Amino acid sequence: MNMQTPAPSNLREIPNPTVAFHRTELSVILSLYGRMVAAGEWRDYGISSLKDVAIFSVFRRTAETPLYRIEKRPKLRGRQGMYAVMGMDGQVIRRGQDLKTVLRVLERKLIRAVE
């Protein structure tokens, strides 16, 4: 009687899932980014997709540290909210479940008094 042993499961073949921004999330973020670039506030951005967080970093100049980081952490969905805006010093400026609501903090920079 021939009996085959099952092939060992090779965990290295399974790619590690990374967190990334969805197309609809990116359209909201890039819409704000475009308006801030037109206002002369921001100049560059960077996107990082890591194992447990996706980060959209905003820079005033390319060689500097980011002014703001927009983070997506799906593990915090049930607690504080999976979207957060972080300041230059790492402090949480706003956190919540809805991306548009969280980004309103940054849109206030566009409102200026007209003389």
**In the chain, where are the structural domains located?**
16-108
> What is the full per-residue pLDDT of the chain (115 aa) written as tens digits?
566 666 655 555 556 688 888 899 999 999 998 988 888 888 888 998 888 899 999 998 766 788 889 999 888 787 888 899 998 888 888 898 888 998 888 887 666 645 6
Ramachandran class of 81: left when φ > 0, alpha when ψ lies in -120 to 50, beta otherwise: left
Helix (H) / strand (E) containing 95: strand 92-96
- Stated pTM of the model: 0.76
Residue bearing tokens 């085959």: 4
Distance CA 49, CA 19 (A): 6
